[in-house]
Amino acid sequence: MSWRRLRTLLQREVRATLRDPFTVTMLIAVPLGTLLAFGFVLSTEVKHLPLAVLDADGSPASRRLVADLTAKGIFDARLFPTRAAIDRALVAGDVSAALIIPPDFDRRRRAVANGEPAPEVQVIYDGAEAVLAGNAEGFLRSLIAANGVTLTEDVHGGGRVAVVTRALFNPRLDGVPYMVAGTFGFVLSFLTTLITAVSIVNERIAGTFEQLQVTPATSVEIFLGKILPLGVVFALDVGLMMLVAGFVLGVWPQGSVPFFLLVSSFYVLVSLALGLLFSATSATAAEAVQKTVLFSIPLVQLSGFAFPIRNMPAIVRWITEVFPATHYIRISRAIYIRAAGPVSLLPDLFFLVVFAGILLWLALRSIEARA
Amino acid sequence: MSALRRFWSNVLAVAYRETIVLRHDQAFIGAVLAQPVMMLLLFGYVLSNEPANVDWALLDWSRSDASRRLVADIQATGYFRPPRTVASYETGRALLRGGHALAFVVIPDRFAAQLERGRPRVQLLLDGSDPLSAARVGGYIVEVAASFTPRDQALARRGPPRLAPPPGPIDVRQRFRFNSTLRDRDFFLAALAGMLLTNVCLSVTALGLVGERESGTFEQMLAQPISSLEIVLGKLLPYVGVAYVILLVSTLATGLLFDVWPRGGIPTLAIATLPFVLASLGIGVFVSALARSSAQGVFISVFFIMPSFVLSGSMFPYQLMPHGVRELGGLFPLRWYQIALRRIIERGAGLSDVLGPMAALVALFVLLLALIRWRMSPRLG
């Protein structure tokens, strides 16, 4: 290992990377684009959902129920004269839910005091938008329940258990921090692997990689000469993403910033080694890209980036543990949102270290092999 | 008249050549076959937003029959694993912080007495770092608690709360149309064809045209008495056929495996698909005009495909995204196609119900044609 030789290799790599405008554009555009686009896709809030209303009662009580539902801006009521019109609106997807108040609503509401059963209303959701309907259901039922309590002056007395709910770390259950912390995992797994794979395959095709191999440089030096500059570039990307997430999206890390940077830089190494491996087994750059893409589909779907792992079948839950991205995304969310320290994250950190060891060793061997 | 006939015979000649090339491209055939299988398995069996196997912590100061019954009722919803009983408030919070529990229920020691007097309270702490799951799990627990009665009643033993809401001051009779159990699976599978077609149309055209330029065969074709428009159209024609094959396969597979058959007409589905396929192929051609190598072509199309899955509403409801992001998603053909797909497949809509999204797709296609002309003309002159 000679420092002089390594320095030459580093200079060469930095120049080669910066000379290519496409790579530089991707290095800046992709992290920022994904951060801004993915940041907002998950939402637990429901706002201005079109709600079809058929008020067959037309009493002050029924009108108050409708007014209460629309008061908070969660639902926008649209009055419909008939059931058939509501059905058409549901099929066309014009309304997300429909509320039907029967003609005897007010009469039965007043009869509750005499021990009659509670008044009924009917709610139909557009199940075609399953997620939306699930969110809307929760809001609509709690609003109707709250209204029912005021309307009937609490004739039931009690017995039902009240739950005092508090969400830690993210009191308004905002979706942005969750997606932002996950996007770090997405960018650092996908873009890094892709760019490394393409850069090395292109060198292999151009023959410059063989030229490197016949110089006095050892394979460890070639390896470091490739990995270190790219590693620094992606470490800068992490910093850039943190700043944009903070200033534009208002999401700052709750935990220790140095710890997050350390883990992220380490994870970049894992991804770079993976990129090296893909490039070693591909004949053309397009093939390397396709391999990376094929690998990245399970990465997006199975790593917990978009869908919680706990909801998956048991066998798949086991498989997801084999992806380094799963562990990094878990760590990234823990540090970013829950301010977790190294102690509670030991199992995931341990997995990352093991993966890094295996992948770096394999990547080094792929460089030694003279193709 | 003869000019028009020559135009079409040129287009068909290129299409014929492209079909021959396609038939021998095993990587392409493999990708076209493997992708639907993988996506079907993922969206059919694996991915879901519906909470399951939820880890939770319990601090039971009351240790009464009533508190044990409440815990059993929460368990009975089927969303939860057995709770982890902790001895102190701090331990419970540490479990939340470490990500080992999504919810932490604290039952006070006066719970049984409060229950008798009619104002019982329990505390629920949620891990807000996973907001969607937290919101839903919180909802389930609140629902269980709301239907909890002082004395054990056989009537209270019911299925998950969603199926049988407890009678409150107002009795809400609710129903989910089109997807009665709100399965995520049906939601994803309805848009599956759109995701598959996006993948195929984009990656294939982007790769094919750039590859042709790299190997010099594009210039060779230009040297023939044939215009660049005829070449591009001829190259795209076979992929329209491929797209319909994929639509057929994915419709059959989702139907046979998961019993999600289109409720609307098959002709409606076929007609609504055409403008989407054209717009997606147009994007592929545009990408190939931007890219200098096939690696760049794949690269750009990947970073188009990812956001179009996420922002179109195929995986997450676009209605919940903030303004700006929502309009941005409108630039992706998949947005309008998934709207049309959901109407036809899930809600059984007819052709007149999907004219709006189809018009948007045609508009996108025209816009792309203009862009392609502008970008390609100097090079092909």
Share of chain A above pLDDT 90, in %: 13
Cα atoms in the 13 Å half-sphere on the side-chain side of A174: 15
Confidence of residue A369 (pLDDT cuts 50, 70, 90): low
Q: Along the 381 residues of chain B, how does pLDDT read in single tens digits?
A: 578 888 888 888 888 888 887 777 777 777 677 777 888 888 888 888 778 889 999 999 989 888 898 999 899 888 899 999 999 999 998 888 888 899 999 999 888 888 877 778 889 999 888 888 888 888 888 878 877 776 654 444 444 444 444 444 566 676 777 777 667 788 888 888 999 899 888 877 777 777 777 777 777 777 777 777 788 788 888 889 889 988 998 899 888 988 888 888 899 999 999 999 999 998 988 888 888 777 778 778 888 888 888 888 888 888 878 888 888 889 999 999 999 998 888 888 888 888 999 999 999 999 988 888 787 654 543
Q: Give the Å distances, CA to CA, from A176 to A71, A337, B27.
A: 25, 11, 39
Please tell me which residue of chain A has the smallest CA distance to B173: A122
Q: Of A120, A307, A333, which has the smallest distance from its Cβ to B47's Cβ?
A: A307
Q: What is d(CA A274, CA A42) in angstroms, rounded to the nearest whole number?
A: 29
A12-39 per-position pLDDT tens digit: 888 877 777 888 888 888 888 888 878 8
Dihedral pair phi/psi, residue A223, rounded to 5° = -60, -50
CATH no., domain B56-156:
3.40.1710.10
Is there a contact between B183 and A130 if contact means CB atoms under 8 Å apart? yes
Is there a contact between B96 and A168 if contact means CB atoms under 8 Å apart? yes
Closest CA to B305 of B189, B203, B192: B203
What SS3 class is residue A340? Answer: coil
CB A124 within 8 A of CB A132: no
Q: What is d(CA A305, CA A327) in angstroms, rounded to the nearest whole number?
A: 11
CB B127 within 8 A of CB A310: no
Question: Out of 3.20.20.70, 3.40.1710.10, 3.30.200.20, 2.30.42.10, which CATH number does the structure's domain A49-152 have?
Answer: 3.40.1710.10
User: Which residues, in sequence order, are CB contacts of A207 under 8 Å at separation 6+?
Assistant: none
Is there a contact between B211 and A286 if contact means CB atoms under 8 Å apart? yes
CB B286 within 8 A of CB B371: yes
Q: What is d(CA A161, CA A147) in angstroms, rounded to the nearest whole number?
A: 18
Is there a contact between A92 and B346 if contact means CB atoms under 8 Å apart? no
Dihedral pair phi/psi, residue B208, rounded to 5° = -60, -50
Distance of CA A239 to the CA centre of its chain: 19
Q: Is the backbone of residue B118 left (phi > 0), alpha (psi -120 to 50) or beta?
A: left
Distance from the Cα of A29 to chain B's closest Cα (Å) equals 10
Distance of CA B301 to the CA centre of its chain: 18
Beta-bridged to residue A120, according to DSSP, are: B171
Which residues of B, range 127-166, sit inside 8 Å of A by Cβ? 127-136, 138-139, 141-142, 145-150, 162, 165
Distance from the Cα of A133 to chain B's closest Cα (Å) equals 8
Say what the pLDDT of residue A160 is.
Answer: 59
Is there a contact between A144 and B172 if contact means CB atoms under 8 Å apart? yes
User: Which residues, in sequence order, are CB contacts of B34 under 8 Å at separation 6+?
Assistant: none
User: Which residues, in sequence order, are CB contacts of B27 under 8 Å at separation 6+?
Assistant: none
Taken in order A264, A270, A274, A276, is the CA torsion positive or negative?
positive
Cα atoms in the 13 Å half-sphere on the side-chain side of B186: 25
- Three-class SS of chain B: CHHHHHHHHHHHHHHHHHHHHHHCCHHHHHHHHHHHHHHHHHHHHHCCCCCCCECEEEEECCCCHHHHHHHHHHHHCCCECCCEECCCHHHHHHHHHCCCCCEEEEECCCHHHHHHHCCCEEEEEEECCCHHHHHHHHHHHHHHHHCCCCCCCHHHCCCCCCCCCCCCCCEEEEEEECCCCCCHHHHHHHCHHHHHHHHHHHHHHHHHHHHHHHCCHHHHHHCCCCCHHHHHHHHHHHHHHHHHHHHHHHHHHHHHHHCCCCCCCHHHHHHHHHHHHHHHHHHHHHHHHHCCCHHHHHHHHHHHHHHHHHHHCCCCCHHHCCCCHHHHHCCCHHHHHHHHHHHHHHCCCCHHHHHHHHHHHHHHHHHHHHHHHHHHHHHHC
CB A183 within 8 A of CB A264: no
Q: Give the Å distances, CA to CA, from A361 to A243, A269, B376.
A: 34, 12, 46
A89-102 per-position pLDDT tens digit: 888 778 888 898 98
**pLDDT greater at residue A264 or residue B158:** A264
Residue with tokens 């102190």: B88
Amino acid at B53: N
Region A240-249 average pLDDT:
91
Q: What is d(CA A263, CA A249) in angstroms, rounded to the nearest whole number?
A: 22
Domain ranges of chain B: 2-47+183-380, 56-156
- Report CA Rg, chain A: 28
| Least confident residue range of A124-128, A267-271, B56-60, B244-248 | A124-128
Say what the pLDDT of residue B86 is.
Answer: 94
A340-350 per-position pLDDT tens digit: 888 888 889 99
Q: pTM (2 decimals)?
A: 0.80
CA dihedral of residues B286, B289, B293, B294 (deg, nearest 10):
40
CB B230 within 8 A of CB B11: yes
Is there a contact between B320 and A173 if contact means CB atoms under 8 Å apart? no
Domain ranges of chain A: 3-41+175-368, 49-152
Q: Give the Å distances, CA to CA, from A85 to A270, A343, B172, B313, B354.
A: 58, 59, 21, 26, 18
Say what the pLDDT of residue B18 is.
Answer: 82
Distance from the Cα of A303 to chain B's closest Cα (Å) equals 11
A149-172 per-position pLDDT tens digit: 555 544 444 445 677 777 788 777
Q: Of A45, A149, A168, which has the smallest distance from its Cβ to B127's Cβ?
A: A168
Measured between its terminal Cα atoms, the distance across chain B in Å is: 25
Say yes or no: B68 contacts chain A, CB-CB below 8 A.
no
Q: What is d(CA B374, CA B367) in angstroms, rounded to the nearest whole number?
A: 11
Tokens of A270: 């894992």
Q: What is d(CA A254, CA A169) in angstroms, rounded to the nearest whole number?
A: 9
